[in-house]
Structure 1
Amino acid sequence: MSRSARSRDKGGPRPGKYPVRFGTAELLADADRPHAWLISVDGVAQSYVDLDDPTNLEFDYVRRLGDVVDCLPEGPLDALHVGGAGCTLARYIAATRTGSRQLVFDADGPLIELVREQLDLRSVPRLKVRIEGGREGVASRHDASADLVVVDAFERASFAGGLATVEFVTDVARVLRDGGAMLANITDGPGLAFARRFLATVGEVFSHVVLLAEPGVLRGRRFGNVVVAASRAELAVDVLTRKAASSAYPARCVSGDELRKLRGKALPVRDAEPVASPVPPEDVLGLF
Structure 2
Amino acid sequence: MGRRRTGRAKPTVSSHEPVAGLYDTDTGTCELVKDPYRDSGWILEVNGVPSSHIDPDDPTLLEFEYMRWITMLVHSHFSRDTRLRALHLGGGACTMARYLAATYPEARQVVVEIDGRLAELVRKWFDLPRAPLLRIRVGEARSVLTSLTDATRDVIIRDVFAIDRTPVALTTVEFTRHARRVLAPGGLYVVNCGDTRDLTTARREAATIGSVFEHTAMVADPAMLKGRRYGNLIIAGSDRPLGESDALIRDLLGGAVPAQIRHTGETRTFAAGAKVLDDSEAPQRSAAPQRGTPEPS
Same fold at TM > 0.5: yes
* C-alpha contact 2:152 2:183 (8 A) present in aligned 1: yes
Matched AA of 1:273: E
Q: How does the TM-score come out when normalised to structure 2?
A: 0.86
Residues 241-256 of structure 1 mapped to structure 2, 5 A cutoff: 241-256=249-264
SS of the residue aligned with 1:143? coil
Out of 191, 200, 204, the residue aligned to residue 193 of structure 1 is 200
**Structure 1 counterpart of 2:35:** 30
Out of 64, 67, 79, the residue aligned to residue 69 of structure 2 is 64
Q: 1:103 to 1:39 in 2, by over 3 A?
A: same
Structure with the higher fraction of residues in helix conformation:
1
Q: Deviations over 1:207-250 (max 9, x none)?
A: 11100111111111111011111100111323332221111110
Q: How does the TM-score come out when normalised to structure 1?
A: 0.88
* C-alpha contact 2:22 2:29 (8 A) present in aligned 1: yes
**Structure 2 counterpart of 1:237:** 244
SS of the residue aligned with 1:47? strand
* Structure 1 residue 153 displacement after superposition: 0.8
* C-alpha contact 2:26 2:116 (8 A) present in aligned 1: yes
Matched AA of 1:111: L
* CA distance in 1 between partners of 2:227 and 2:27 (Å): 29
Residues 52-91 of structure 1 mapped to structure 2, 5 A cutoff: 52-74=57-79, 75-91=82-98
* Structure 1 residue 140 displacement after superposition: 1.6
* C-alpha contact 1:22 1:155 (8 A) present in aligned 2: no
SS of the residue aligned with 1:179? strand
Matched, 1:171 2:178: yes
* CA distance in 2 between partners of 1:191 and 1:286 (Å): 17
Out of 264, 270, 273, the residue aligned to residue 272 of structure 2 is 264
Q: 1:250 to 1:265 in 2, by over 3 A?
A: same
Matched AA of 1:245: L
Give me the identity figure in percent: 38
Stretch of structure 1 that moved more, 234-243 or 107-116: 234-243
* Structure 1 residue 50 displacement after superposition: 1.1
Matched AA of 1:84: G
* Structure 1 residue 254 displacement after superposition: 1.1
* CA distance in 1 between partners of 2:294 and 2:145 (Å): 29
* CA distance in 2 between partners of 1:257 and 1:69 (Å): 20
**Structure 2 counterpart of 1:110:** 117
* Structure 1 residue 130 displacement after superposition: 0.9
* CA distance in 1 between partners of 2:104 and 2:16 (Å): 30
* CA distance in 2 between partners of 1:264 and 1:275 (Å): 25
Matched AA of 2:112: F
Q: Deviations over 1:138-161 (max 9, x none)?
A: 112111111011110112232133
* CA distance in 2 between partners of 1:96 and 1:122 (Å): 13
Stretches of structure 2 lacking an aligned partner (at least 5 in a row): 1-12, 285-292
**Count of aligned residue pairs for this structure pair:** 274
* CA distance in 2 between partners of 1:36 and 1:99 (Å): 26
Out of 145, 159, 173, the residue aligned to residue 166 of structure 2 is 159
Matched, 1:15 2:20: yes
Residues 113-124 of structure 1 mapped to structure 2, 5 A cutoff: 113-121=120-128
